[in-house]
Amino acid sequence: MRVMQIPAFPRKFENPDHEDLLMRRLSQTVVLWPDQAIPLLVYMGWPNDPADRDESLRMVRSWSEGSESIPPRLGRIQHEWLRVADVFHRYCDLIDGQHQERRGGPSIGKAITLVEAKAKSRGTGAATLWEYWKTYKDVAHLVTAAVLICLNARRGALNHPFGPSGLSLDQFGPLQMVMLMPDLVLAAALEFERYGLMQMTIVAFNRSAASDRV
């Protein structure tokens, strides 16, 4: 069983004003919590490969010493995260709206079918989406949190740039959000996890109640 080993943060995350948090964190490129951010990043990037995860952990930690070593497939992993977030977000929509009840209820398979039908970019065929989901399913809530935070940050930067020392628009990516705001990524991911479990419990209860009435 994989366990995400991340030390406690020095300060408790109190769910502050998100706009203020984004401005403060993204107006500079200093990694405030490397002991938390780096293990989180490699856990999300290589959830099924302990060897690559350990090697990537070593490489990312060496960045603070001036190393330019890049973990394998890091750029590609960010692209795959976007597709996983599409699937997870669509799955949450199906649960929330209690769609597909007559066809057995929401499922990842149905979410993938919907993503494939609506997407026009490369890498969105059902077989590829299933491959991505198989790789990242255990960290899908974390991946989706990082992607959504990145999208919100991009929108904010269009109107209020983060300053000369902050990230430029072409530098925004889920990876940067994990490194600069690991506490926000974890907080958002936990909400996704709680929400999904709550909604699945509600759906199961409704099905049981309907069955009892038959």
pLDDT in tens, 31-89: 989 999 999 999 999 999 999 999 999 999 999 898 989 998 998 999 999 999 999 98
Q: How many CA atoms lie within 13 A of 110 on its CB side?
A: 15
User: What count of residues does the chain have?
Assistant: 214
- All residue ranges of the chain with pLDDT < 70 are 1-3, 13-16, 97-104, 121-123, 195-214
pTM equals 0.83
Q: What is the dihedral of CA 88, 92, 98, 103, to 10 degrees?
A: 10
pLDDT reported for residue 3: 62
What does the DSSP 8-state code read for residue 160?
A: S
Tell me the C-alpha distance between 76 and 81, whole Å.
Answer: 9
What are the residue ranges spanned by the domains of the chain?
Answer: 74-213
The pair phi, psi for residue 175, each rounded to 5°, is -60, -45
Q: Which tokens in the block code for residue 165?
A: 């020392």
Give Cβ neighbours of residue 162 (< 8 Å, ≥ 6 apart).
22, 23, 26, 27
Tell me the C-alpha distance between 107 and 159, whole Å.
Answer: 37
Based on the number of CB atoms within 10 Å of its own CB, is 119 exposed (0-12), middle (13-18) or buried (19 or more)? middle
The per-residue b/e assignment along 25-48, b for 16 or more CB within 10 angstroms, e otherwise, is bbeeeebbbeebbbbbbbbbbbbe
pLDDT reported for residue 131: 96
Q: Which tokens in the block code for residue 191?
A: 């909400």
pLDDT reported for residue 37: 95
Give Cβ neighbours of residue 147 (< 8 Å, ≥ 6 apart).
81, 82, 85, 174
